[in-house]
Amino acid sequence: MQTAAMDPTEEAPSLLWGLDPVFSAFARLYIKDILQMTESIQVPGIYFYNQHPIYKVDVLGTVVYRRERDTFFCYGVDDGTAVINCLCWKSELLKDEGHTDKSGLQTSDGAQGGFSPAAELKKLREAHQRRCRLEIGELLRVRGPVKTSRQQREIMASTYYKVDDPVMVAQITWMMDVPQLYRECYDKPFELKADTEGNSANTSLSKATNMMKDFLKQKLVTRFRPHDVQDLLQPLISIRPPTAAAEQEPAAGPSACQQLRQLLKEVLQVLQDEGVVYRKLRSQDEVYHVTRQDKDLHRAVREIIREDSRKEKCA
């Protein structure tokens, strides 16, 4: 699988990275792609795969080398595509494993088969060691941010643990899930399509709203139903001519009629929010009254103002 080389001039602004769901997730990428990702020129520590901003990953692989220090482990993880170094910090249970708790041993001896906090802590420490202290050939899962240290890319593990997989269920599941994620998400470049479509939708909504306002003003409409003005917005709906392929297969997405109804619904909502029209009664028979032309509303507002003006606080 080839990683798309990204031109720095095409890098999306950092303020828009949050629009990509991959940015907030632990990306399940192949290690080969993690090593080949392009680092951001705006924010160090952020990388791009196919224009997707990525800073934390999720990796499953076999340990091919290990180094241990006082505060961390260094595991080399191989997923079949490449090997990456994973820096795994030790927890307090692992750091204190060399220290013996004499008071705990005395409590354990005096418990005589009863509950002993020291004994339970010892069992917990042993179970934790089995999960975090791995040997070469064992299966390790690592999640954490990607860092570049000494010109080498590595994973700073926020979570890591040994995977017990005697019949390879976890590995088979992983090998089925990751290619699907690539097809449905990672291999589709992040192009801010949703934002572009949103701008187009806002433009159409603005045009439709202005058309409706002009119609109500010119025709001095006092009230109307949605189906009475629906045809006004027809020119804003793009209708594609039918083709031979379209006749054989149903077209994807909403039809022109559905688009027209949705646009009209949004326009009426905008007009209500702006106070241009309103509905007296909430019923199935949608009747919208034009605020400017409604004499009854004017009289009601005038009476309210007159009554309020008679109060002492408004004198």
Q: In whole angstroms, give the CA distance from residue 110 to residue 20.
A: 59
Check residue 143 and give its pLDDT. 95
Residue 106 lies in a domain: no
Q: In whole angstroms, give the CA distance from residue 39 to residue 44.
A: 7
Check residue 252 and give its pLDDT. 53
Give the least confident one: 40-44, 105-109, 134-138, 254-258.
Answer: 105-109
- For tokens 């009664």, what's the residue? 281
Check residue 96 and give its pLDDT. 59
Residue range 20-31: mean pLDDT, rounded: 93
Residue 203 lies in a domain: yes
H or E element at residue 244 = helix 244-248
Q: In whole angstroms, give the CA distance from residue 85 to residue 97.
A: 25
Give the least confident one: 36-45, 65-74, 91-100.
Answer: 91-100
Quick: pLDDT tens for 236-266: 876 444 444 444 545 555 678 888 888 888 9
Tell me, yes or no, whether 165 and 226 share the same domain. Answer: no
Residue 212 lies in a domain: yes
Check residue 285 and give its pLDDT. 74
Tell me, yes or no, whether 218 and 304 share the same domain. Answer: yes
Calculate Rg over the CA atoms of the chain. 33
Check residue 106 and give its pLDDT. 46
Residue range 164-182: mean pLDDT, rounded: 94
Tell me, yes or no, whether 217 and 287 share the same domain. Answer: yes
Tell me, yes or no, whether 93 and 211 share the same domain. Answer: no
Check residue 25 and give its pLDDT. 92
User: Which residues have C-beta within 8 Å of that of residue 303, sequence separation ≥ 6?
Assistant: none
Tell me, yes or no, whether 84 and 142 share the same domain. Answer: yes
Domain that holds residue 59: 8-98+117-186
Residue range 67-96: mean pLDDT, rounded: 86
Q: What type of residue is 176?
A: M
Tell me, yes or no, whether 169 and 148 share the same domain. Answer: yes
* Model confidence at 192: pLDDT above 70: no
Domain count, the chain: 2
Tell me, yes or no, whether 131 and 17 share the same domain. Answer: yes
pLDDT above 70: percentage of residues in the chain? 79
Tell me, yes or no, whether 151 and 227 share the same domain. Answer: no
Quick: pLDDT tens for 261-299: 888 889 999 998 888 888 887 776 788 888 888 888 888
Quick: pLDDT tens for 51-78: 899 999 999 999 999 998 888 899 999 9
Tell me, yes or no, whether 70 and 164 share the same domain. Answer: yes
Tell me, yes or no, whether 135 and 218 share the same domain. Answer: no
Tell me, yes or no, whether 181 and 44 share the same domain. Answer: yes
Tell me, yes or no, whether 160 and 61 share the same domain. Answer: yes
